[in-house]
Structure 1
Amino acid sequence: MKAAIYTRYGAPQSVSVKDVATPAPAPDQILIRVRASTVTTADWRLRASAFPGLLWLPGRLMTGLVAPKNPILGLEVAGEIVATGRDVTRFHIGQRVFGFTGGGAHAEYLALSQDAAVLPIPTGMSDAEAAALPWGAVAALVFLRDVARVKPGQDVLIVGASGGVGVYAVQIAKAMGATVTGVCSAANVDLVRDLGADTVLDYRKTDIRAARNAYDLVFDTVGATRYPKMIGALRKNGLFLPLNFGGRELWHLVLSRLIRGPRIKLFVNGDSAEDLRAVLAMVANGQLRPVVDRHFALDDIVSAHAYVEARHRKGAVIVDMARAGDARAIA
């Protein structure tokens, strides 16, 4: 089978498409013919070993100190089950499924445990739409529902509102009854407004730090702001919630306890089928929709990585296995 392989950390060009052995499912595994995957921010950070500050060494110990332990990236998958291990009872051959992989989805086939965070694809949902949901939508849901505990009537500022997590955060916060202000570039204002934001700010024209006591929550999905700079924009019991953090944010956590003002919380969400089901329920209720930016063929995986690393994407960047050999990107 074909797979996108990286054997060293570095630029997008460190990834190349090669022929590797097709995996055989273990007794408790399903074998998925991958129809669609994505390149996420996490993928390019893993590929480039771009772990922030004090997290660099723990990150390298986790992924491989000298070279990557797992040479095939791809954290989201959508496809069809083509084989099952003898102990598999939850799925069957021919079933369309999607979910989290933990890596390995940038390949034509992927073996996963039947207990992984994988669910059947709803009728009427395309492979690309299904692959676009897990990483961004689950992160947005968990951060807003479980960490921030957003309540109806609260004022929520979402920084990076057109990004891979932001497009879902806007929709979910709105579904939870919040008044939503999205921050993005001018080119993406219409998209963020269409997703339900009450107000959309162009970060190049508006200094969001200048607001005073305006928000109950600032959810920074892209690392564009810092807690000390946003204290004035938050209400006394407000919360600054960064999606990504490093050593600087650990100090900010200490600072927040000293000043007894707006709080900061640091959190890393996991991958669970239960949260994925909650996302699907919101899709079924019309509260949430997948957002796809561009499609790339597996053969053009380098361009997909470069596009995501430029940090201007609008939703999910799809790796489309059905377009093997077609290296053109479709906007």
Structure 2
Amino acid sequence: MKAVIYEKYGSPEVLQLKDIDKPTTKENEILIKIHSTSVTAGDWRMRKADPFLVRLFNGVFRPKKVKILGFELAGTIEEVGSEITKFKKGDNVFAFCGYKFGAYAEYKVLSINEEVELMPSNFTFEEAAVLPLGTLTALKFLRKAGIKENQNILIYGASGSVGTYAIQLAKYFNTIVTAVCGPTNLDLVKSLGADKVLDYTTQDIYETQEKFDIIFDAVGKISKTNSKKLLNSKGKYVSVSGSAKNKKGDLKFIRDIIEKGKLVPVIDKKYNLNQIREAHSYVEKFHKKGNVVINIT
């Protein structure tokens, strides 16, 4: 099968499209023929070893644990292990690979214990492929903050993958959302349901007179200390630079919301697998709106 391999850290040029052995399944695993995946900040940071902690996880001098990137995928089940009853051959699924990565390939093996669900019936492979990482990240941090109906929430970095999903999830929980982004994305975040929008290039968010129940930094760029100025007495600050845990079944929860028509992905650009270097270069510039798709087949 074809896969994008990287065997040293560095620029997008280290990504190499190669032929490798097709994986085989065990009794509790499924083999997925991947149709689409994505490029995320997590992918390029692993490739570049930025921050340095990546090297402690994946090899100090060169990648050892993970050599095929790709956090998320959508595809069709080609083989089903004998212990699997939830899925059958031919099912279309979407999945979160987690820190095992591996979606920059024609095939991926996942166990039944990992985050795999049937695709939303009304979605394409491209749309489904960009759901898992952004939606699960937004959901876990909003839950960590204790999101409740009628709360006043500020989302900083609202036009990225996590931010665009956070707006929609916050509205699903019936909250009042203020979205902060750049001037070219104000209409986008408003179209996703934001009640108010702030342009961080012309407005100092710390000068607003509003107080918030939750501040969610969806890009890891604002400090907890400064954010205290904007929080009410019991308000919570959460950031993607921190940590939080998902619950088992969260991907099914996301699918259910989608099938109710309450959540859609924002797709900025689409590339083929042989354009993976170009896609990484684009995402690394921090200009993407929502998500970037890689089509495998």
TM-score by length of 2: 0.94
Q: CA deviation at 1:199?
A: 0.8
Q: Distance in 2 between matches of 1:160 and 1:269?
A: 21
Q: CA deviation at 1:227?
A: 1.7
Match of 1:121 in 2: 119
What letter matches 1:111 in structure 2? V
Q: CA deviation at 1:175?
A: 1.6
1:210–1:232 CA contact under 8 A, matched in 2 = no
Q: Distance in 1 between matches of 2:139 and 2:178?
A: 17
What letter matches 2:6 in structure 1? Y
Q: Distance in 2 between matches of 1:147 and 1:225?
A: 18
2:165–2:263 CA contact under 8 A, matched in 1 = yes
Tell me, yes or no, if structure 1 residue 318 matches structure 2 residue 286: no
Match of 2:179 in 1: 182
The partner residue of 2:59 within 44, 50, 64 is 64
Q: CA deviation at 1:293?
A: 1.6
Match of 2:243 in 1: 267
What letter matches 1:211 in structure 2? T
The partner residue of 2:197 within 191, 196, 200 is 200
Following superposition of structure 1 onto structure 2, how do residues 286-297 of structure 1 map, counting pairs within 5 Å?
Answer: 286-297=261-272
Q: Distance in 2 between matches of 1:233 and 1:211?
A: 8
Q: CA deviation at 1:183?
A: 0.7
What letter matches 1:291 in structure 2? V
Q: CA deviation at 1:95?
A: 1.0
Secondary structure of the equivalent of 1:165?
A: helix
Structure 2 regions of 5+ residues with no counterpart? none
Q: CA deviation at 1:306?
A: 1.2
TM-score by length of 1: 0.85
What letter matches 2:252 in structure 1? R
Against the structure 1 CA distance between its residues 149 and 162, is the aligned structure 2 distance closer, same or farther, given a 3 Å change threshold?
Answer: same
Tell me, yes or no, if structure 1 residue 147 matches structure 2 residue 122: no
**Superposed CA RMSD:** 1.5
Q: Distance in 2 between matches of 1:115 and 1:274?
A: 10
The partner residue of 1:224 within 189, 211, 221 is 221
What letter matches 2:244 in structure 1? V
Secondary structure of the equivalent of 2:249?
A: helix
Q: Distance in 2 between matches of 1:170 and 1:213?
A: 18
Q: Distance in 2 between matches of 1:267 and 1:114?
A: 25
Structure 1 regions of 5+ residues with no counterpart? 245-265, 323-331
What letter matches 1:269 in structure 2? K
What letter matches 1:64 in structure 2? G
1:97–1:119 CA contact under 8 A, matched in 2 = yes
Report how many aligned residue pairs link the two structures.
294
Q: CA deviation at 1:290?
A: 2.0
Match of 1:236 in 2: 233
Q: CA deviation at 1:213?
A: 5.0
Percent same amino acid at aligned positions? 40
What letter matches 1:187 in structure 2? T
Q: Distance in 2 between matches of 1:291 and 1:273?
A: 25
Q: Distance in 2 between matches of 1:72 and 1:41?
A: 15
1:118–1:273 CA contact under 8 A, matched in 2 = no
Q: CA deviation at 1:268?
A: 3.0
Q: Distance in 2 between matches of 1:240 and 1:122?
A: 32
2:119–2:255 CA contact under 8 A, matched in 1 = no
Q: Distance in 1 between matches of 2:6 and 2:178?
A: 39
Q: CA deviation at 1:171?
A: 0.7
Following superposition of structure 1 onto structure 2, how do residues 73-84 of structure 1 map, counting pairs within 5 Å?
Answer: 73-84=69-80
Match of 2:30 in 1: 30
